[in-house]
A and B are shown apart, each in its own frame.
Chain A
Amino acid sequence: GAVVSQHPSRVICKSGTSVKIECRSLDFQATTMFWYRQFPKQSLMLMATSNEGSKATYEQGVEKDKFLINHASLTLSTLTVTSAHPEDSSFYICSALGGTQETQYFGPGTRLLVL
């Protein structure tokens, strides 16, 4: 139980384009999901907290107009990187709060490369 999926697993795009990443809780409902970014050999950095049916809460230093988050249902949250630049290249990981233990279950991550 407590499986979280992400799609796509890997994406390469040109600078200036937008990329959407989906995060789904497959076997439980998640009112709260989280988006993280992880650079090589670094820990996870929380970008934003996404609550179903309301606006996301962004961490300090994260541009909400650049990283658009939508949590339209109890099993789906999306992160859209708008006007992507090479410095946005990173490993983006989502997590969902829930399951039998009220903690975060992580997706497999999406590797974004912006050329």
Chain B
Amino acid sequence: QKEVEQDPGPLSVPEGAIVSLNCTYSNSAFQYFMWYRQYSRKGPELLMYTYSSGNKEDGRFTAQVDKSSKYISLFIRDSQPSDSATYLCAMSAESGGSNYKLTFGKGTLLTVNP
């Protein structure tokens, strides 16, 4: 079993739809959870950063973490064509220090159709 599982999609939705992206993980030591957005041929861009369980909202984006289920989600409200990208979940057990390392999901390719 891989440490982080993410459905690669592709996921295609109409403009204005609510998008739900998810990852599951197996390592209970993970405490820090991130979502990155990566446009084609570009580096990943940090979207959301959360610590432990709970919700975090930033504009049209909401990140949810359920540590008891080892499940994280990213919701995008009122999706726009400019949201079309690959979304990568990432997580770590540490926030820094010599043992710090990010473990990534494979990424979900999202297309928002106008």
- Say whether, besides A103-B95, A106-B36, A44 and B101 are in contact (CB < 8 Å): no
From 66 to 115 in chain A, residues with beta carbon under 8 angstroms from any chain B beta carbon are: 91, 93, 95, 97, 101-109, 111
Question: Is B46's CB under 8 angstroms from A43's CB?
Answer: no
Residue-by-residue, is B46-60 near A (CB-CB < 8 Å gives 1, otherwise 0)?
100100000000000
Taking residues whose C-beta sits less than 8 angstroms from the other chain, chain A's interface range is: 20 to 34
Residue contact A44 to B88, C-beta cutoff 8 Å: yes
Residues of A contacting B90 with CB < 8 Å? 104
B34 contacts A108, C-beta separation under 8 Å: no
Residue of chain A at shortest CB distance from B51: A101
A→B interface (CB under 8 Å): 2, 4, 6, 32, 34, 41-44, 46, 49, 91, 93, 95, 97, 101-109, 111
A46 to B34, CA, bound (A): 16
Q: Are B96 and A107 in contact (CB under 8 A)?
A: no
